[in-house]
Structure 1
């Protein structure tokens, strides 16, 4: 009796396994065209995406687009094409894509709400890249920082201050605030003020200050440097001293003008008055 039951059980298991195997082969044969076509679409699509990405990069480089903008647009296109390829791949496998797209939309909305600040910086980065208020290598003043731009990233701008400190400024605040670009025009004017006593010879003092500017080879001849009476205070006559220099020589011209004018006025016996607060 036991042997008979065991033999009957083995026959049932063998029949079930045979049925399962047959059913599996039938499903595999029915499904294999979809699977093969989906795999072909995946590999061909990946190759096509890489090819399209390379072509787009070359076209943007030939059009002399900003390198940061070129990389950003190419990356956006790359991921957009990958998402479309993935949706095509799973739809070819017979998976319903409408619910999948709805899930992606809900996830995108949730991520967008939680990253509002980052999206603001992202939008600011796009505005900076597109309208170019400054570029890499420019010296700018923004958000209380004066520094040289090292890199314009999507969310932040990386800058280097004069004392070698690296500063990261969010692009959202940067694009919405005032930006002073000291490098855009190529030339820059130093605005200095010297105050002398009322007992001084004004014409002599003016000639001395102007002579100092004309003798400095780093001071540009055009636009011509200027020296004129700026103000008459209760204790002094104020001269505006305005030399022009290239951006590279601006710092040197500023400091040399201060030093040379002070030395020349002292040698001429013209007293420089200390600045006092006006009430």
Structure 2
């Protein structure tokens, strides 16, 4: 039994040795081609990384919007990577023409299965083309809000004021309304201040105007509008609408609300709250 095993093992070794001896040129050729293919992928990846990083730096140095710069370099990166892979496959003997046809057919099938991803890609191209917002803008879109970090091939990255990162599919953004709070340099603050019906209306408007005039961050042009907006159920509602630079919006809004409350209290002007009158009727016993 052991002798037969040794004999078979020796015969197998001789066969392998003979095959290697007879096919040395073929083995060397495959080894060279495989090594060359690996070098093509390795060197190609390094060149692509260097080229895309250099292009990104050049675009940003020329003050191209970072959103566009990142999107363009991503497209170029993946396009060049596909070219490198095809070149490596061609080096190892794969018929690239047939491979491209197979990839095309597979791409069609994958495209039908990944319609959502393709729509995200198309939406990303449209977002870059029409530019409803840019990196650094604060927007509301797809049911969420945040500062735009970047627009990538399939998604848009946003960061909320409390430092949460939100990844939103591009098609979701493009399919709904987009509110850009940063596009215009100035914004209007809309406040509704309710005062008691017994309060002096003229005095109240003078107090509000004095508060607005004292804040240097509030713009003089356009002028602030202070008017009676509505005679409510329990209060006279005044609107206070000053204009500020977009960067000062929230700071001015918060400061105004605090100052208005303090000054109205100092001048004895009441800020009412909803009230209900209850009438009690006593019925006499028969």
Partner of 2:181: 182
Partner of 1:150: 149
Q: Say whether the 8 Å CA contact 1:139–1:181 is kept in structure 2.
A: yes
CA distance in 1, matches of 2:142, 2:105: 36
CA distance in 2, matches of 1:51, 1:236: 67
Gap change, CA 1:206 and 1:64, over 3 Å in 2: same
Gap change, CA 1:69 and 1:207, over 3 Å in 2: same
Q: Say whether the 8 Å CA contact 1:195–1:275 is kept in structure 2.
A: no
Aligned 1:162-181 pairs, distance under 5 A:
162-181=161-180
CA distance in 1, matches of 2:221, 2:201: 25
Q: Say whether the 8 Å CA contact 1:210–1:226 is kept in structure 2.
A: no
Question: Secondary structure in 2 aligned to 1:168?
Answer: strand
Gap change, CA 1:51 and 1:256, over 3 Å in 2: closer
CA distance in 2, matches of 1:50, 1:22: 43
Question: Secondary structure in 2 aligned to 1:210?
Answer: helix
Gap change, CA 1:257 and 1:53, over 3 Å in 2: closer
Structure 1: runs of 5 or more not aligned:
1-12
Deviation at 1:105, TM superposition (A): 0.8
CA-based RMSD of the aligned residues comes to 3.8
Question: Secondary structure in 2 aligned to 1:195?
Answer: strand
Partner of 1:124: 123
Is 1:268 paired with 2:267?
yes
Partner of 2:250: 251
Deviation at 1:146, TM superposition (A): 2.9
Structure 2: runs of 5 or more not aligned:
1-13, 276-286
CA distance in 2, matches of 1:98, 1:221: 69
Is 1:201 paired with 2:166?
no
State the aligned residue count. 258
Partner of 2:217: 218
Deviation at 1:104, TM superposition (A): 0.5
Gap change, CA 1:108 and 1:158, over 3 Å in 2: same
